[in-house]
Amino acid sequence: MDFLNAIVLFANFVIIPATAYGAQLALGALGVTLIYSILRFANFAHGELMAFGAMGTILVTWLFQSQGIGFGPLPTALLALPIGIVLTVVFALLTDMSVYRFYRRQRVDPIIMAIASVGVMFVMGGLVRFIIGPDDQNFFDGMRFLIRAGEFRNMTGLDEGLAIKLTQVITVVVALIVVVVLFWFLQTTRSGKAMRAYSDNEDLALLSGIDPDRVVMTAWVITAILATIAGVLYGLDKTFKPFIYMQLLLPVFASAIVGGIGQPVGAILGGFVVAFSEVTITYAYKKFLAYLLPQQWAPDGLVQLLSTDYKFAISFIILVLVLLIRPTGIIRGKVL
Amino acid sequence: MIAVDNLHMHFGGIRAVDGTSLNIEKGSITGLIGPNGAGKTTLFNVIAGAYKPTAGRVYLDDEDVTGLAPHELFKKGLLRTFQIAHEFSTLSVLENLMVVADNQPGERLWDAWFNNKQVQAFEDQVRVKALEVIEFLEISHLTHELAGNLSGGQKKLLELGRTMMVDAKIVFLDEVGAGVNRTLLKTIGTSILRLNEERGYTFCMIEHDMDFISRLCGPVIVMAEGKLLTQGTADEVKANEQVIEAYLGTGQKHGKNRTSS
Ligand SMILES: Nc1ncnc2c1ncn2[C@@H]1O[C@H](COP(=O)(O)OP(=O)(O)OP(=O)(O)O)[C@@H](O)[C@H]1O
Ligand SMILES: [Mg+2]
């Protein structure tokens, strides 16, 4: 019984939240990796693009809510998501037209593009806070829990409860669908193959008649879709804080690099590696160990490797370790 | 078909192409020879849009195409292959060929989702064509192999195959035969002749193998030190004293590139 309790406890506080968080990071990292493999620069503005997508979706959600439009037990934000995506796609394309295209035509070094994206990051961040304000926003409605801790306890007779939030399930399901569609797109469609070809060998792609502007545009469209979905899922799961997305940039980049930048599969793996590291390292194991160990061995302290305040430092540590030990990331290479 | 007018391509002090003017006749197979470092590949690079020339103009069918990007030239029917074979290493041989095709449905993002029938029909058509090309090049056993795993010679074949996927007007071949075995070289030669006769391709080919040149090429252009040395039929060129000195014979003094003062 104690063993089961320990497992349920672990699942409740580590596995489930880390899975949802991992899915959010994976979607974010996919966007970073895509831009890296097509436009060949590290897009520091990706976090703010996620913020913009979330903001757009929130504004539409509020509009729907004020009109009394709902989505049953599901959050209205899911209904607003497509419109949020369209707004973000347009915004991303405008950004490309007004900033990156200029540098692309100049054929500048990737590092200059990356620095330009830092500028874009600040402008985007400012814009988001200008529109929606610097405060936290709650836009979640609908059913909160799929399984409540109390119900679970009654059902199973265990001491520990297992709570599964609806947002966590939505996160994982949506992420799964997005990833399947993305891979289908890259592997089988003509545009997808053109993107892979372009990412593999730009010179040859041009000589094969692949239109670079179209490939770049497609990359931005997909990235904006991914960023909006990632941003909204994160906001639904936690709350929407305009500043959090800038902080999220670090774990997102860590995910992309850990997995092997430019590798979509790597981005997904990396997302989960980072999420699980973050959650397992900041989790206090006191109660968990108390279940497993004999009474007299039960720990006094929290048995927490690192305080949750430092959770973003973990991405940083993982990043440094990976760059030292295996700079190519889990999956080698730098192409789609 | 192609007219190059006083073309210059300088890299810092190096004058890789130093005032070359030449014409390539429609329907011809024109050879381009010259010592290593003569500027042949650079000339191709400029014509095919990889570099913007320092000075001079390039005309395709009397249209000024100087400085157009490679994909724009592709749409006008100008293709080239690389001296050092390029390939999409993470795509299969079949996919490598299938991505070559322009202005077709499925390139647009929304067509992939909403125009499925048309896209599918087109895909099937392209696949059939790609398989034909693969068979023609005698690499059927490699159809689904990643192109990155091919040997150097096989990659060269793939380069040639790429130019057969669309109806080109003019194809620039950069030492397409180098590193390819003798029997295959014969096949390649035959296929070049056939593309020329049956599909009306114009070719311009850089080649060091004089026998190969004699067999295929009508006009032969000789370059040395970034300049046009002479031109004529293969026999005329072979007999030309300047050419013998600069290239075919033992004369070494013009052999290597040098920087201008
Ligand atoms: N991108 C570049 N930057 C600087 N120098 C270059 C560049 N490309 C070519 N060159 C120089 O231009 C000269 C001509 O080179 P090119 O490759 O055109 O010769 P080539 O005639 O094709 O020779 P080969 O028969 O060996 O292939 C060489 O001296 C080369 O070093
Ligand atoms: Mg050369």
Residue A194 sits in a domain whose CATH number is 1.10.3470
Residue A30: count of CB within 10 angstroms of its CB: 32
- Ligand 1 binding site (Cβ under 6 Å of any ligand atom): B 11, 14, 16, 34, 36-42, 83, 257
Looking at the fold, whether B145 and B120 belong to one and the same domain comes out as: yes
Is there a domain that residue B158 lies in? no
Is there a domain that residue A332 lies in? no
Closest ligand 1 atom to residue B11 Cα is 4
Determine the distance separating the centroid of ligand 2 and the alpha carbon of B174, expressed in angstroms.
Answer: 7
pLDDT tens string A113-162: 999 999 999 999 999 999 999 899 888 888 888 888 888 888 888 888 88
Is there a domain that residue A333 lies in? no
Provide ipTM, 2 decimals.
0.83
Looking at the fold, whether B196 and B78 belong to one and the same domain comes out as: yes
Looking at the fold, whether B179 and B81 belong to one and the same domain comes out as: yes
| Residue B208 pLDDT exceeds 80 | yes
The rounded Cα A167 to chain-centroid distance in angstroms is 14
Answer whether B142 touches A (CB < 8 Å).
no
The answer to whether the CB of B209 falls within 8 A of the CB of B220 is no
The answer to whether the CB of A227 falls within 8 A of the CB of A267 is no
Print the domain residue range for B211. 2-87+166-254
Cα of A253 to nearest chain B Cα, Å: 24
Cα of A124 to nearest chain B Cα, Å: 26
Is there a domain that residue B156 lies in? no
pLDDT tens string A279-327: 999 988 888 888 888 888 878 888 888 888 888 888 889 889 988 888 8
Determine the distance separating the centroid of ligand 1 and the alpha carbon of B30, expressed in angstroms.
Answer: 20
Looking at the fold, whether B141 and B209 belong to one and the same domain comes out as: no
Looking at the fold, whether B176 and B229 belong to one and the same domain comes out as: yes
The rounded Cα A257 to chain-centroid distance in angstroms is 14
Is there a domain that residue A109 lies in? yes
Determine the distance separating the centroid of ligand 2 and the alpha carbon of B39, expressed in angstroms.
Answer: 7
Closest ligand 1 atom to residue B45 Cα is 18
Please indicate whether, in this complex, the C-beta atoms of B88 and A221 are within 8 angstroms of each other: no
Mean pLDDT to the nearest integer, B220-229: 90
Print the domain residue range for A96. 2-325
Q: What is the CATH number of the domain that holds B67?
A: 3.40.50.300
For A198, the closest chain B residue by CA position comes to: B88
Burial of A167 (0-12, 13-18, 19+ CB in 10 A): buried
The answer to whether the CB of B168 falls within 8 A of the CB of B77 is yes
Weakest-pLDDT range from A102-116, B58-72, B246-260: B246-260
| Residue B215 pLDDT exceeds 60 | yes
Query: Hey, which residues 61-100 in chain B have their CB within 8 Å of chain A?
Result: 69-71, 74-75, 79-80, 82, 86-91, 95-96, 98-100
Least Cα distance to A284 among A9, A7, A78 occurs for: A9
Is there a domain that residue B160 lies in? no
| Residue A255 pLDDT exceeds 60 | yes
Cα of B261 to nearest chain A Cα, Å: 29
Is there a domain that residue B155 lies in? no
Looking at the fold, whether B174 and B213 belong to one and the same domain comes out as: yes
Q: Let me know how many helices (H) and strands (E) chain B has, helices first.
A: 10, 10
Q: What is the DSSP letter of A223?
A: H
Looking at the fold, whether B105 and B224 belong to one and the same domain comes out as: no
Is there a domain that residue A330 lies in? no
pLDDT tens string A129-142: 999 998 998 888 88
Is there a domain that residue A331 lies in? no
| Residue B102 pLDDT exceeds 80 | no
Looking at the fold, whether B178 and B242 belong to one and the same domain comes out as: yes
Looking at the fold, whether B114 and B67 belong to one and the same domain comes out as: no
Please state the pTM of the whole predicted model: 0.88
H or E element in which residue B21 lies: strand B14-24
Mean pLDDT to the nearest integer, A52-72: 93
Which CB contacts under 8 angstroms, 24+ apart, belong to A91-97? A91/A49, A91/A52, A91/A56, A91/A224, A92/A49, A92/A220, A92/A221, A92/A223, A92/A224, A92/A227, A93/A217, A93/A220, A93/A221, A93/A224, A95/A45, A95/A120, A95/A124, A96/A216, A96/A217, A96/A220
Q: What is the DSSP letter of B240?
A: -
Is there a domain that residue B18 lies in? yes
Determine the distance separating the centroid of ligand 2 and the alpha carbon of B92, expressed in angstroms.
Answer: 27
- B122/B127: higher pLDDT: B127
Is there a domain that residue A336 lies in? no
Distance CA B185, CA B177 (A): 6
Looking at the fold, whether B82 and B106 belong to one and the same domain comes out as: no
The answer to whether the CB of A329 falls within 8 A of the CB of A260 is yes
Q: Look at chain B and report how many structural domains it folds into.
A: 2
Looking at the fold, whether B249 and B179 belong to one and the same domain comes out as: yes
Q: What is the DSSP letter of B33?
A: E
H or E element in which residue B220 lies: strand B219-224
The answer to whether the CB of A294 falls within 8 A of the CB of A223 is no
Q: Which of B10, B11, B46 to mutate to test the pocket of ligand 1 (most atoms within 8 A of CB)?
A: B11
pLDDT tens string A187-242: 988 889 999 999 999 999 998 989 899 999 999 999 999 999 999 999 998 889 88
Is there a domain that residue B133 lies in? yes
Looking at the fold, whether B75 and B172 belong to one and the same domain comes out as: yes
Is there a domain that residue A334 lies in? no
Q: Look at chain A and report how many structural domains it folds into.
A: 1
Write down the pLDDT at residue B256: 43
